[in-house]
């Protein structure tokens, strides 16, 4: 395959770009962070000074960006991919935007002869580094087969369907379940701590039983029990994903009784702790309400 482009090489995009370089792809990168770009240049990438410069040299451009608005601007804005012309023919969006935004971007890009590949990923920074992400792809099946060797660098690839937005719907459902698991695990462990149980023992028991989820398996041992709150995913991004999922459920007419309560907790945590806080810090809100701190005694 010809040279690839990569826009947005921060916490998630940077490790994914590195995996492409390690697999031998020629890569041109752009980010608003000069430091992020320079780190990849030192690994063998070529720096671009603008989105247009990426589009000029790469037939396939991958993007990993934090919000739907930024993805839309990069794809369809006055200085974006669609307006830049150049060599670009495929736009692979690894971000989480929601299905309606994905469909709108696909429609806008199609007018310029550019194919949109709806390709969100799940698994966090650690998964991006190790190449163990879940990669959810929605696009024309023939295009999927052509791009599959590229995205396989990021992890396990799933073809979700041909309709733009189908990958986004899958990603939002996944992240809702993750957010719900974190929320209920925090409430349960805080309850136990208030009753005098040792939090570390609780996590060991839960992980050996039927209550285990990814929060108790990964987030509690690595970031909550040590009180480091450094798992690597922002509070604001988790709240955004839950909010997007509930908006899509509402548009589909699907009742989400439990999920609405989950959204309320993340909304409060996002306001109180700030969108830049690590999402594992959500437990601090539950602790404050219960007047207890989850801290191991052994």
Catalytic residue IDs: 171
Between the alpha carbon of residue 175 and those of residues 87, 181, 244, the distances in Å are 34, 10, 10
- Asked if 244 and 169 touch (Cβ cutoff 8 Å), the reply is no
Per-residue HEC secondary structure of the chain comes to: CCCEEEECCCCCHHHHHHHHHHCCCCEEEECCCHHHHHHHHCCCCEECCCHHHHHHHCCEEEECCCCHHHHHHHHHCCCCHHHHCCCCCEEEECCCCCHHHHHHHHHHHHCCCCEEEECCEECHHHHHHHCCEEEEEECCHHHHHHHHHHHCCCEEEEEEECCCCHHHHHHHHHHHHHHHHHHHHHHHHHHHHHCCCCHHHHHHHHHHCCCCCHHHHHHHHHHHCCCCCCCCCEHHHHHHHHHHHHHHHHHHCCCCHHHHHHHHHHHHHHHHHCCCCEHHHHHHHHHHHHCCCCCCCC
Q: Within 13 Å and on the Cβ side, how many CA atoms surround 153?
A: 18
- Asked if 211 and 188 touch (Cβ cutoff 8 Å), the reply is yes
């Amino acid at each position: 395959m010809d040279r690839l482009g990569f826009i947005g090489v921060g916490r998630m995009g940077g490790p994914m770009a590195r995996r492409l370089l390690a697999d031998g792809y020629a890569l041109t990168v752009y980010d608003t962070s000069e430091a992020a770009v320079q780190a990849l240049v030192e690994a063998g990438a070529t720096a671009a000074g603008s989105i247009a410069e990426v589009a000029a040299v790469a037939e396939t451009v991958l993007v990993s960006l934090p919000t739907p608005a930024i993805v839309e601007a990069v794809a369809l804005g006055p200085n974006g991919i669609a307006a830049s012309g150049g060599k670009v023919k495929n736009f692979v969006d690894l971000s989480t935007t929601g299905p309606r935004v994905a469909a709108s971007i696909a429609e806008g890009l199609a007018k310029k002869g550019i194919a949109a590949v709806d390709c969100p990923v799940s698994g966090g920074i650690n998964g991006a580094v190790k190449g163990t992400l879940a990669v959810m792809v929605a696009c024309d099946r023939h295009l999927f087969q052509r791009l599959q060797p590229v995205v396989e660098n990021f992890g396990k690839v799933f073809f979700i369907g041909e309709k733009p937005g189908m990958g986004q719907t899958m990603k939002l459902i996944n992240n809702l379940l993750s957010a719900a698991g974190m929320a209920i695990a925090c409430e349960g462990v805080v309850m136990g701590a208030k009753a005098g149980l040792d939090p570390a023992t609780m996590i060991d028991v839960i992980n050996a039983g039927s209550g285990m989820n990814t929060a108790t398996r990964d987030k509690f041992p690595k970031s909550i029990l040590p009180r480091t709150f450094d798992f690597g995913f922002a509070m604001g991004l988790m709240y955004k994903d839950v909010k997007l999922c509930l908006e899509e459920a509402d548009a589909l007419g699907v009742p989400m009784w439990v999920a609405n309560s989950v959204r309320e907790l993340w909304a409060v945590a996002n306001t109180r702790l700030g969108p830049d806080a690590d999402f594992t810090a959500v437990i601090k809100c539950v602790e404050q309400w219960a007047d207890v701190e989850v801290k191991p005694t052994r």
